[in-house]
Each structure stands twice: as C-alpha cells, then as structure tokens.
Amino acid sequence: MNRVARVFSGIQPTGVPQLGNYLGSIKNWVALQSQHLDPASSQPHDQYISIVDLHALTVPRPPARLRADTLEMAASLIACGIDPQRTVLFRQSTVHAHTQLMWALACITPVGWLNRMTQWKSKLHGSQQYGSLNVHSAAAQSLLTGLFAYPVLMAADVLLYGATHIPVGDDQIQHIEFTRDVCDQFHKTYGHVFSAPRVLLSQTKRVMSLKDPLRKMSKSDPNDSSRINLTDSDDAIIRKIRKAHTDSIQGISYDPVERPGISSLLSIYAALKDVSPEQVVQEMEGFTNLQMKEAVASAVIETVGPIREHMARLVDDRGYVERVLRENEEKAKSVAEDNWQNIAKCIGLS
C-alpha cells in the first residue's frame, strides 16, 4: 500500500462551519497544503479530506437537508482555503470501498473495544455521568448500532487510503488509538497490509462556547449566540463577542481554570494571530474586558470576513462545487479501489 506521506481527515456535513471547526481543524488543513511532512522524500505529501456523509447518518435528518449541508460544507472548505488541486476533497458515500472495508474490520473488532469509546456515551441522551456506562446498561438500551460502531468506519476511512498522518485535536486521540489497535488486529489475523497512522496534534485547543466556556463551541447548541458562524455578519460577530461570558476580575490574564471565559477569548485571538495566549496577555496589558473583546472581535472579522464573501460566491455557483467534488471523487475512487483490491485478496474475497 501507499508509502508516500498521506494526510487524511474527515468532517461531518453540518452545513456552514463555526469558528471552532475552523480553528480546530480547517485552518490546520489549509496550512498542511504548503508543508512538507517527509523531509526524506522529494515528493510532497498527499492530502485527502472527506465530507463524511455516511457518519452523518448516525443522526438522521431530512434527505434534502443532508444534501444541502454537504454542499455547503464543501463550499465552506474551499472558501476557507482548501485547494482542490492540492487536496482531494470528496464525499465519503461516493467511494463504496469505505463500507466494504468497514465490514471486514468490524468482523475482527471486539465489542469490548467499542464499549470503551467515550464518544457514544457522551452523545447518548440522559447520560450525564458516562464514565462507567457500558453497552449492557439500561441507559444504553436505546443506543443505535451506527453510533456504537462508527469508530470502525472511522478506522476504515483512514486505513483505506494508506494514511500516514492524521491531524486531530486532543479529543480525537482515542479514535486514532482505536484505529491503530484495529490495524494491529488485522495484521495478526491476515498479515501486514496497512501502515499504522501517526497523530498530527492540532496546536489549537478546543474552542469553547461564548456562553458557557466550560463547554465546546458547537453547531448543535440551540443558542446561536454561543458560537461564531463563518457566515455571521460583522455586526453579529461584534454583538456575540461583546456578550460573551467573562468575569468581573480586573486585568487581563490567562487562567483556564479560574478565568475560563477570558481565557477562551484570549485563546481565540491567539489562534487567529498564530501566537501564544501568554503573548496575547502581554499585548493586552492594561486592557479592560471591553477593550479585549473589541480586539478579539476585530481579529475574528479580519479572518471571517473574506471567508464569508468567498462562500457567498460559491453558494451562488453550486455547479462549480459539484464539479470539484465529482472530479476529486474520481481520484479518491481510483486510490481506494486499488487498495481495496489488495485488501480483498488478503482476506480471501478475490
């Protein structure tokens, strides 16, 4: 299988991303397009970004909404700087080998490994204390199979393309460890086929809610004021950040435990400016909370404004977005099908 350095990432089709998506993932993907991951190779690394519409089925939505959200996500990624000539951007469901490999991997994956995964527990309704929750508990009896088993599909996504590097935030490391475990299990069962992927840890920590800095910024939060959407107007951005949760302590300091609201805003500014939060504290010495919020809002507008305008043009030209996806999907299919044929031969299906 592939020996050239290859980056693989996936993103749910949630429509227009919010600032947490951009700073936590997309900004890093854009930067990776101009980096060289393997100094020993004269070839630039490949990058694959999949809009994971199969994963989206774990939370059913109207079919027309899913199609629209998928196109909006594609347009958003291009507007953020993903270059379809440098990155293979494609819809997961168009490459059938994803589900073929998922089934092969599921057949050698112990249920106990899936039971240990924390994400299905955190998403299960009514499970506030999920540390000891297990699949046999009464609370888990409404658990849908797709939500429980989707880490296997995530592993298939990565392994199908021979990915060597996976850029993730610290909250996704468990999934990469799971993928490496599944990879080892496959090799013990059938022989060596895959290369175990390495983690590329994002430098940006999780972006927190503007209303509750102890929770992650999320599109699923019913309160739109809790997040900055990449389509928000300048006025909306200013309003949301002015109303962001802070505290009454005088002065600007970075302390995520004692001052989570202030620290969250400083982290956003630092990530946008590519500096450390400590450097931001020095820059804002003597600022009031209001002055700090104005500086953060200005930095957000400086980044989001051009993205918003580019996105609007792309949404008006959906034919271009569809064409980009179709062309990239042919590239993804070619690589995936070649690799699947090698895997199928290894497990006796061809």
Active site residues: 123, 216, 219
Q: What are phi and psi of 145, to 5 degrees?
A: -60, -40
Where are the extended beta strands (E) located within 136-218?
165-168, 198-201
Cβ(36)–Cβ(45) below 8 Å: yes
Where are the extended beta strands (E) located within 180-300?
198-201
> How far apart (Å, rounded) are the C-alpha atoms in residues 153 and 123?
17
Question: Three-class SS of residue 8?
Answer: strand
Question: Three-class SS of residue 15?
Answer: coil
User: Does the CA dihedral 13-14-17-21 come out positive or negative?
Assistant: negative
Helix then strand then coil, in percent of the chain rounded to 5, is 55, 10, 40
> How far apart (Å, rounded) are the C-alpha atoms in residues 47 and 268?
26
> How far apart (Å, rounded) are the C-alpha atoms in residues 74 and 324?
9
Cα of 350 vs its chain's centroid, Å: 34
Q: What is the DSSP letter of 24?
A: I
> How far apart (Å, rounded) are the C-alpha atoms in residues 81 and 107?
39
